[in-house]
A and B are shown apart, each in its own frame.
Chain A
Amino acid sequence: MATLNLLQAINQALDIAMADNERVLCFGEDVGGFGGVFRATSHLQDKYGKARCFNTPLVEQGIIGFANGLAAQGSTPVAEIQFADYIFPAFDQIVNESAKFRYRSGSLFNVGGLTIRAPYGGGIAGGLYHSQSPEAYFAHTPGLKVVVPRNPHQAKGLLLAAIRDPNPVLFFEPKRLYRASTGEVPESDYELPLGEAEVIKEGSDITLLAWGAQMEVIEEAAELAEKEGISCEIIDLRSILPWDVDTVATSVLKTGRLVISHEAPLTGGFAGEIAATIQERCFLYLESPISRVTGLDTPFPLTLEKEYLPDRLKVFEAIKASMAY
């Protein structure tokens, strides 16, 4: 096994997918010869040619419209949106078209081959428009799958699964971890399941739940809590839509406490959906209210980014408050 960073793992997944299936295509702004602004598609054009890995004009709605058509035709497009903050011009194509293609045609047609990759999240001094976490908008749209990996090993396996899944998948990549997160990644072709959460660490007092870059934060908070004798169970949701209710509910039935954390704003964030479902499933077992540690209900700031972000200390405080309830 080689040690890769998250970008290299993504690049390797794309490489494997393109080698494995000649109908896999990678495109987007600056994706071609340059290999993407983050270099996730490096060398793919050299290897697979300009017809299969190429630049597009600067038009997100066009990129996803084009990708929908390609997928309907039977190809397997992997479209890159340069930053998740810039996915909104394509919102109509994703929400009204990708998500509903199979349903509205009675399965005569589908865009199941489609994967949309987009770097998301803060922590890189990106301000309002290079930091957002838009997963909740898409989680409100039946027909889409929404996946967020936490490290290189996960990124490779989940992306390969996303590309081969017979449904349109939004794959949000934690750009703060692109180079910061490194780890052992098998060189082989492997997939990790979509729609399944993963229990990272077992514990008995409280369940901590997050996804993507926020996993690191809750793991650090758990270390602080363990020092105070609090046993934390840590879960990576991995798929936001559809999400793994059973794994989370099973854990909360055991611990009786749940802290959910995401970078996106509190109101309408996906933690709210999880909290509503889990209180329904676990009502009589809860020892304290389900707690959400999230960004503020503001646009993403710049200078005060550190203050805005739901960091380990905020999560740690939420753990203590839940234990002391």
Chain B
Amino acid sequence: MTRATSSLVHSPHFLEGDEFSIDTFALLKQDGSLYEGATVPDLDRDKALRIYHAMVFTRVLDERMLAAQRQGRLSFYMQCTGEEAAVIGSTAALDDADMIMAQYREQGALAYRGFSCDEFMNQMFGNEHDYGKGRQMPIHYGSAKLHYMTISSPLATQIPQATGYAYGQKLAGDGHCTITYFGEGAASEGDFHAALNMAAVHKVPVIFFCRNNGYAISTPAVEQFAADGVAPRAFGYKMRVIRVDGNDVLAVYQATLEARRLAVEQNQPVLIEAMTYRLAAHSSSDDPSGYRSKKEEEAWREKDPILRLRRWLEDREWWSDDEEKALQERLRREVLETMKVAQKRPAPPLESLITDVYDTPTPQLKEQLAALETHIRRYPEAYPKSAHKSASEHSPQGSSTSSGAVTGQGGY
């Protein structure tokens, strides 16, 4: 059914598909001053500094961890560099108990919520303190207490899940919403379309936050879609939409604040497209020199979102060179020290191979673990991460295939 206002016409007139031109909401210029006519959103000093700290921490973490990966201390890493304002500015506009369902480049959101450096490190090194029990590659963080859904590598699967999660929040009536992050590449997946359509139909309090950073690994946005970005798709779903300068933390913050109000007060899903740039490689396994120019990267480096916010803070005398220096030093030291400790922590116990597949291990899983333990006792030198534990936890008679060692893991 079309709208009641649709009228009959008698010549075949096709719409071009580019009738809508979508403006970009921007407040803060690169020099730290406001655009003419722009007003500062409701943002006090404490919150502004909390945002800034999280942005700087994210930048420092990314630099140090990429270096650690290059030194062979870490198997894999992904940087958020260049996109800190988009991620942290939006998270800051939420209630801290709103749900975040991110893609994988949103470590800044976790940093803002208070995930400690130690917690980051434990995940990346997959040690016995990792909440994810060493099961996922580095940067697949999760935190129940910070309302941050554990990252899943498949792209866009989190988007319809966010619609469902937010539907549950709406039924619960607790005044919370869900934000889901994804790139402009992931927005090509079927899950994106499913999620936005269902959210619009069922009037769900969810914010779809697209980080349009220009590239899906090596594929530029112009080879991802013919349209003017991702934002125009919202019209097809009759959804509220805004495009924002993703390197402008004030604009991102205000846009998300308004989106949250629409979501929570009116059950209106919202699409936000943040125009930004992935300054770093896609991941530690990628080399952008094969698909884009240094010149292009330099042009975007000039638009550094952290520097932009710092200038604004300094103009207000909320931040100084001395404070900057002290913060940088403290964060670098903290990252290095926690890294050293986390790297030395032991691997998760062998039983964690079979726990959490189901709420309790099945008889088949217990049998498989018992057989594995017997095997490891036979060849301990081949399995150094678990052999010493296997030997100490079991009496050395060798004939025991007891599966009694399987116990539930405590929650975090």
How many angstroms from the CA of A51 to the CA of B172 in the assembled complex?
A: 11
Residues of A within 8 A of B355 (CB): 107
Which chain A residues lie closer than 8 Å to B172 at the CB level?
A: 73
Known interface pairs A62-B195, A102-B356, A112-B359; A107-B157 also in contact (CB < 8 Å): no
Question: In the bound complex, what is the Cα–Cα distance between A61 and B196 (angstroms)?
Answer: 13
Given the interface contacts A103-B135, A242-B363, A245-B364, does A65 sit within 8 Å of B168 by beta carbon?
no
Contacts of A66 in B (CB 8 A): 160-161, 163-164, 167, 194-195, 198
Q: Does A72 contact B (CB under 8 A)?
A: yes
User: With a CB–CB cut-off of 8 A, which chain B residues contact A72?
Assistant: 149, 161, 164-165
Contact B164 A108 (CB under 8 A): no
For B132, give its contact among A59, A92, A106, A167 (CB under 8 Å).
Answer: A106
Interface string of B190-207 (1 = CB under 8 A from A): 110111011001100000
Chain A residues lying within 8 Å of B178, measured Cβ to Cβ, are 69
Q: How far is the CB of A224 from chain B (nearest CB, A)?
A: 34
A73-B168 in contact (CB<8A): yes
Most buried by B among A108, A109, A167: A108
Please determine whether B149 and A61 come into contact, CB atoms closer than 8 angstroms: no
Q: Does A67 contact B (CB under 8 A)?
A: yes
**Which of B132, B165, B198, B412 is in CB contact (< 8 Å) with A57?**
B198
B136-144, B248-256, B282-290, B338-346: which lies at the A interface? B136-144
Contact of A92 among B143, B157, B163, B363 (CB under 8 A): B157
Say which residue of A54, A65, A70 sits within 8 Å of B194 (CB atoms). Answer: A65
> What sequence of 0s and 1s flags, for each residue 201-217 of chain B, a beta carbon within 8 Å of any chain A beta carbon?
11000000000000000
CB distance from B341 to the nearest CB of A (A): 20
Interface size on B, residues (CB 8 A): 51
Q: Give A32-89 interface residues, CB cut-off 8 Å to B.
A: 51-52, 54, 56-57, 59, 61-62, 64-75, 77, 89
A-B pairs, top 7 by smallest CB distance, nearest first, are A65-B160, A69-B164, A62-B194, A73-B168, A69-B161, A105-B150, A66-B164
User: Are A106 and B133 interface neighbours, CB within 8 A?
Assistant: yes
User: A121 to chain B: which residues have CB within 8 Å?
Assistant: none
Q: B275 contacts the other chain (Cβ, under 8 Å)?
A: no
Q: What are the interface flags for B120-143 relative to A under an 8 Å C-beta threshold, 1 for contact and 0 otherwise?
A: 000000000011110110001011
Query: Given that A66-B160, A108-B412 are known contacts, is A57 also in contact with B131, CB under 8 Å in the complex?
Result: no
Contacts of B144 in A (CB 8 A): 108-109
- Contact code string A232-266 (vs B, CB < 8 Å = 1, else 0): 00000000001001100000000000000000000
A103 and B359: CB pair below 8 A?
no
Q: A75-B168, A97-B157, A107-B411 given as contacts; is B142 within 8 A of A143 (CB)?
A: no
Q: A234 to B166: give the CA distance in the assembly, Å.
A: 47
Contact indicator B195/A96 (Cβ below 8 Å): no
Are B159 and A65 closer than 8 Å at their CB atoms?
yes
CB of A92 within 8 A of CB of B356, answer no
Which of A62, A69, A72, A105 lies at the interface centre, i.e. has the most chain B CB atoms within 10 A of its CB?
A69
Assess the B162–A69 pair: CB atoms within 8 A: yes
Contacts of A68 in B (CB 8 A): 157, 160-161, 164
Complex Cα distance, B167 from A32, in Å, reads 16
Q: Closest residue of chain A to B150, judged by CB?
A: A105
Cβ–Cβ contact A62 & B202, under 8 A: no
Annotate B340-361 by CB proximity to A: 1 below 8 A, 0 otherwise. Answer: 0000000000000001111100
CB distance from A85 to the nearest CB of B (A): 18
Q: Which residues of B contact A67 (CB under 8 A)?
A: 164
A104 within 8 A of B: yes
State the CA gap A245–B133 with chains docked (Å). Answer: 30
The interface residues of chain B lying within 8 Å CB-to-CB of A112 are 359
Closest to A60 in B: B194
Bound-complex Cα distance A72 to B161 (A): 8
* A242, chain B: closest CB distance, angstroms: 4
* Distance of B121 from chain A, by nearest CB (Å): 16
A-B contact pairs, 20 of them (CB 8 A): A51-B171, A62-B198, A64-B160, A65-B161, A69-B166, A69-B167, A69-B168, A72-B149, A72-B165, A92-B191, A96-B152, A96-B157, A102-B359, A106-B131, A106-B132, A108-B411, A108-B412, A167-B359, A242-B364, A245-B364
- B169 part of interface (Cβ distance < 8 Å): yes
Given A69-B167, A106-B130, check contact A89 B190 (CB 8 Å): yes
- The answer to the question of B39 belonging to the interface, with a C-beta cut-off of 8 Å to chain A, is no
Residue-wise interface mask of A (154-195) relative to B, using a CB-CB cutoff of 8 A (1 in contact, 0 not):
000000000000110000000000000000000000000001
Q: Is A142 an interface residue (CB 8 A)?
A: yes
Neighbouring B residues of A145 by C-beta, 8 Å: 358
Residue in chain B with minimal CB distance to A143: B357
**Choice from B135, B157, B202, B362 contacting A242 with Cβ under 8 Å:** B362
Kindly state the separation between the CA atoms of A173 and B358 in the bound complex, as whole angstroms.
23
CB neighbours of A166 from chain B (8 A): 359
Whether A57 contacts B142 by the Cβ 8 Å rule is no
The answer to the question of A322 belonging to the interface, with a C-beta cut-off of 8 Å to chain B, is: no
Determine which of B152, B191, B412 lies in contact with A62 in the assembled complex, contact meaning CB atoms within 8 Å: B191
Whether a CB of chain A sits under 8 angstroms from the CB of B154 is yes
Query: Counting chain B CB atoms within 10 Å of each CB, which of A64, A74, A103, A245 scores highest?
Result: A103
Check if B195 sits within 8 Å of A57, measured CB to CB. no
Q: How far is the CA of A25 from the CA of B162 in the complex (A)?
A: 17
Task: Determine whether A207 belongs to the interface, using a CB cutoff of 8 Å to chain B.
Answer: no
Instruction: Tell me whether A93 is interfacial, beta carbon within 8 Å.
Output: yes
Question: Out of A51, A106, A110, which one reaches B409, CB within 8 Å?
Answer: A106
Establish whether residues B135 and A93, one from each chain, have CB atoms under 8 Å apart when the complex forms.
no
Which one of A52, A69, A77, A167 contacts B160 once the chains associate, using CB atoms below 8 Å? A69
Residue on A nearest B348 in the bound complex, by CB: A106
Q: Find out whether the CB atom of B133 lies under 8 angstroms from the CB atom of A61.
A: no
Task: Contact check, A108 vs B359: say whether CB atoms are below 8 A apart.
Answer: no
In the assembled complex, the CB of A137 is this many whole angstroms from the nearest CB of chain B, namely 17
> Which residues of chain A have C-beta atoms less than 8 A from B171's C-beta?
51-52, 75
- B201 to A57, Cβ gap below 8 A? yes
Residue of B nearest to A97 (CB): B157
B160 x A61 contact (CB < 8 A): yes
Cβ-defined partner of A106 (8 Å) among B193, B195, B412? B412
Once the chains are docked, how many angstroms separate the CA of A62 from the CA of B206? Answer: 15
A71 to B160, CA, bound (A): 12
Q: Which residue on chain A has the smallest CB distance to residue B201?
A: A57
Q: Using CB atoms, name the residue of chain A closest to B353.
A: A103
What is the bound-complex CA distance between A93 and B412, given in angstroms? 25
B50 CB → nearest A CB, Å: 24
- Asked whether A57 lies within 8 Å of B359 as measured between CB atoms, the reply is no
CA distance in complex: A246, B364 (Å): 10
Q: In whole angstroms, how far apart are the Cα atoms of A108 and B359 in the complex?
A: 12
Mark out the residues of chain B between 165 and 185 whose CB falls within 8 Å of any chain A CB in the assembled complex: 165-169, 171-172, 178
